[in-house]
């Protein structure tokens, strides 16, 4: 075609006009820290594994979890999912059921016998881990992945620590616990059960360990003095739970049981009492219900199972088959204040659940360099005690005592131990800024409530130790995973690619995300505004 000069032009010839020179600001793709990740004491990259899960790529999702947490099936059940407390989606409709998806993945891994590959060559170093609770198992797992030989010392007959002896079966079935412990054992971790360690230094020297990670759980009940005429049986909650697990002969708790305390162990004890056949179970707690340290959903489920709450009450004495409690009021500063008003609660058994202590003195206080303060072992940011060969974590060190924190400590310590053993320095990844709700463009996410885990009917729950919360089926798990807002991280929704009026975002293909074509980007910022997950920053151009 002979084209008339200037009037008729060849298509797409404007590509020579590099409009990028108009720009005073530029968009930059970023990976911001989702609040769930920040809130996860185990340091799971939740957003990332949900990303895989929502594609139905469960194995990859599970592997992503396993980078940080070796116990997904357990954590999906027993972790109190602080991640969900921070989930941005709660501001839109309801939090994403992260734990449920984690549990689904964990169970899938157990069902399919998924294993973790160790790719690092053996280092020849030997690590001694004390305690097979979540902290010890986590450390053992990560150290094994890092190439070290790990021996795990456990005083109890079975591995699992407080996961086994503190968490009732209806919350954590033992086959799940066993499976995940078993997976770690099959990685090559040597378990020494029924082997309490008294003399750490001695064992180290005798067996040639290069370093120690101590992760003993808080198993000692906090004691208080309650005047009693012994007309009511008194037990510690932690002993009760342990006895149930060991199927030891446990004294008849009778029909009327009072639990004293407001934490998770108190609730576990109360719900266990229901399952042991008690007719009237009540919890006495000195502050108001909303101040109970136990998780509200646990309390809710307990109440559904018939547990009564007696809040703003303090136990004063036990007399004539009655527990005498004093009513409290909350002061302006939310402190409970005694009113002098007394009540009696008829009871057969009083179970004390006033917190646990760790038995740090048992093996650590005598070790040179290790500092123990108020029952806690003092560690630095590398989880190292004053003795460079001795690291500690979990309930032993000052922290919130949860299994997730312990798993996180185990992982963190493993990295520092690895660095110590290899005489290098461990550099944790720098933390990106938080992907706050305000950074999201939630218009692109529609409302959908959290898939409710099927709850076993109350009758079944009250009469045994069957697992209370059912698992998600695959449809629901996929659905739930897909509710993730992918805060701060690109999920390849193509919005930037579509919203650019200048076609200046290049799509690189599935899994490869996008690239800004700065030759044409005019810096309007539409891509950043329309990014649903706040994964594009706009920064000033410097000339």
Q: Which of residues 517-536 bind another protein (CB under 8 A)?
A: 517, 519-520, 522-526, 528-530, 532
* Nearest partner of 51 among 538, 533, 432, judged by Cα: 533
Is 509 near another protein (CB under 8 A)?
yes
Residues 264, 270: Cα–Cα separation, whole Å: 10
- Counting Cα atoms < 13 Å in the Cβ hemisphere of 113 gives 1
Query: Does 31 contact another protein by CB under 8 A?
Result: no
Quote the least distance from Cβ 519 to another protein, whole Å.
7
The distance of closest approach from Cβ of residue 450 to another protein in the complex, given in angstroms and rounded to an integer, is 10
Sequence-ordered list of residues with C-beta below 8 angstroms from that of 42, at least 6 positions apart, any chain: 68, 69, 75, 79, 138, 404, 407, 408, 411
Q: Is 411 helix (H, G, I), strand (E, B) or coil?
A: helix
Selected range binding another protein among 29-37, 307-315, 358-366, 484-492, rule: CB under 8 A: 484-492
Closest CA to 103 of 67, 79, 134, 82: 79
Binder of another protein out of 22, 28, 118, 279 (CB under 8 A): 22
- Min CB(491)–another protein separation in Å: 6
* Structure tokens that stand for 445 in this block: 């996410």
Out of 223, 494, 515, 539, point to the residue binding another protein (CB under 8 A): 494
State the minimum distance, in angstroms, from the CB of residue 17 to another protein: 4
Q: Does 308 bind another protein (CB under 8 A)?
A: no
CB contact burial 39-78 (16+ within 10 A = b; e otherwise): bbbbbbbbbbbbbbbbbeebeebbbbbbbbbbbbbbbbbb
Side-chain half-sphere exposure of 26, counting CA atoms within 13 A: 15
Site string for another protein, 42-61 (x = CB under 8 A): ------------xx------
Shortest distance in whole angstroms from residue 10 CB to another protein? 7
Rg of the chain in Å (alpha carbons): 28
Residue 444 Cβ vs another protein, minimum distance, rounded to whole Å:
5
Asked if 393 interacts with another protein (CB under 8 A), we say no
| Smallest separation (angstroms) from another protein to the CB of 271 | 22
**Considering the rule CB under 8 A, would residue 448 count as an interface residue with another protein?**
yes
Residue 220 binds to another protein (criterion: CB under 8 A): no
Asked whether position 540 contacts another protein by CB under 8 A, the answer is no
Nearer to another protein (CB atom), residue 332 or residue 447: 447
Q: Does 482 sit near another protein (CB under 8 A)?
A: yes
Identified binder of another protein from the candidate list 119, 457, 510, 540, rule CB under 8 A? 510
Residue of 272, 282, 387, 486 interacting with another protein (CB under 8 A): 486
Q: What is the distance between the alpha carbons of residues 239 and 350, in angstroms, rounded to a whole number?
A: 13
Verify binding: residue 543, another protein, rule CB under 8 A.
Answer: no
363 binds another protein (CB under 8 A): no
Structure tokens at 137: 């198992």
Q: 201: burial class by Cβ within 10 Å (0-12, 13-18, 19+)?
A: middle
Strand ranges, E, within 267-396? 280-285, 308-311, 313-319, 322-330, 336-346, 349-352, 356-357, 372-373, 376-377, 390-392
Stretch 408-447 residues interacting with another protein (CB under 8 A): 443-447
Does position 342 bind another protein by CB under 8 A?
A: no
Residues in region 231-290 near another protein by CB under 8 A = none
Among 3, 117, 381, 429, binds another protein (CB under 8 A): 3
Q: Which residue has the tokens 């559904």?
A: 304
For 266-301, give the secondary structure using H, E and C: HHHHHHHHHHCCCCEEEEEECCCHHHCCCCHHHHHH
Interface with another protein, residue 92, by CB under 8 A: no
Q: Does 454 bind another protein (CB under 8 A)?
A: yes
- Convert residues 462-481 into a mask of x (bound to another protein by CB under 8 A) and - (unbound): --------xxxx--x--x--
Q: Which residue among 219, 264, 451, 489 contacts another protein (CB under 8 A)?
A: 451
Residue 530 is encoded by which pair of tokens? 């329309």
Structure tokens at 111: 């069902």
Closer of 274 and 527 to another protein (Cβ): 527
Is 408:42 a contact under the CB 8 Å cutoff? yes
Q: How far apart are CA 216 and CA 219, in angstroms?
A: 8
Burial class (CB in 10 A: 0-12, 13-18, 19+), 15: exposed
Taking the complex as a whole, the smallest distance from the CB of residue 423 to another protein amounts, in Å, to 44
Nearer to another protein, 424 or 443 (CB): 443
Segment contacting another protein by CB under 8 A, of 125-133, 157-165, 458-466, 493-501:
493-501
């Amino acid at each position: 075609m002979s084209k008339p000069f200037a009037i008729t032009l060849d298509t797409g010839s404007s590509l020579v006009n590099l409009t990028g020179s108009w720009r005073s600001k530029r968009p930059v793709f970023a990976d911001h820290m989702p609040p769930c990740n920040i809130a996860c004491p185990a340091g799971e990259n939740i957003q990332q594994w949900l990303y895989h899960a929502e594609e139905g790529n469960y194995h990859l999702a599970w592997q992503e979890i396993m980078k940080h947490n070796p116990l997904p099936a357990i954590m999906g059940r027993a972790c109190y999912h602080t991640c969900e407390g921070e989930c941005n989606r709660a501001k839109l409709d309801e939090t994403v059921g992260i734990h449920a998806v984690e549990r689904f993945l964990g169970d899938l891994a157990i069902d399919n016998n998924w294993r973790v590959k160790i790719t690092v060559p053996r280092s020849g170093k030997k690590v001694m881990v004390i305690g097979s609770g979540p902290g010890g198992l986590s450390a053992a797992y990560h150290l094994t992945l890092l190439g070290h030989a790990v021996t795990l010392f456990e005083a109890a007959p079975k591995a699992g620590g407080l996961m086994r002896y503190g968490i009732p079966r209806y919350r954590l079935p033992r086959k799940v616990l066993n499976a995940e412990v078993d997976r770690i054992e099959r990685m090559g971790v040597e378990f020494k059960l029924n082997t309490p360690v008294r003399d750490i230094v001695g064992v180290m020297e005798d067996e040639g360990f290069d370093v120690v990670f101590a992760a003993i759980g808080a198993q000692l009940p906090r004691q208080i003095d309650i005047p009693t005429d012994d007309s009511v049986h008194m037990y510690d909650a932690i002993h009760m739970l342990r006895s149930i697990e060991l199927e030891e002969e446990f004294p008849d708790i009778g029909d009327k049981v009072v639990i004293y305390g407001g934490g998770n162990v108190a609730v576990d004890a109360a719900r266990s009492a229901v399952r042991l056949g008690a007719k009237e179970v009540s919890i006495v707690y000195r502050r108001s219900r909303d101040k109970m340290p136990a998780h509200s959903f646990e309390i809710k489920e307990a109440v559904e199972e018939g547990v009564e709450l007696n809040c703003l009450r303090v136990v004063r004495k036990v007399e004539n088959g009655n527990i005498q409690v004093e009513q409290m009021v909350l002061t302006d500063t939310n402190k409970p204040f005694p009113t002098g008003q007394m009540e009696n609660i008829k009871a057969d058994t009083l179970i004390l659940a006033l917190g646990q202590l760790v038995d740090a003195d048992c093996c650590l206080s005598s070790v040179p360099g290790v500092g123990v303060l108020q029952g806690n072992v003092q560690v630095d940011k590398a989880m190292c005690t004053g003795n460079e060969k001795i690291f500690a974590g979990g309930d032993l060190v000052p922290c919130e005592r949860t299994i997730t924190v312990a798993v996180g400590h185990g992982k963190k310590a493993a990295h520092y131990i690895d660095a110590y053993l290899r005489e290098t320095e461990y550099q944790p990844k720098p933390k990106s800024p938080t992907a706050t709700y305000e950074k999201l463009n939630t218009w692109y996410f529609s409302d959908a409530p959290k898939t409710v885990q099927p709850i076993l009917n109350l009758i079944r729950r009250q009469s045994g130790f069957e697992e209370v919360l059912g698992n998600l089926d695959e449809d629901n798990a996929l659905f739930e995973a897909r509710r993730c807002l992918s805060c701060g991280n690109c999920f390849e929704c193509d919005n930037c690619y579509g919203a650019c009026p200048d076609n200046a975002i290049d799509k690189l293909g599935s899994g490869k995300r996008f690239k800004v074509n700065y030759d044409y980007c005019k810096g309007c910022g539409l891509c950043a505004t329309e990014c649903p997950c706040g994964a594009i920053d706009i920064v000033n151009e410097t000339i």
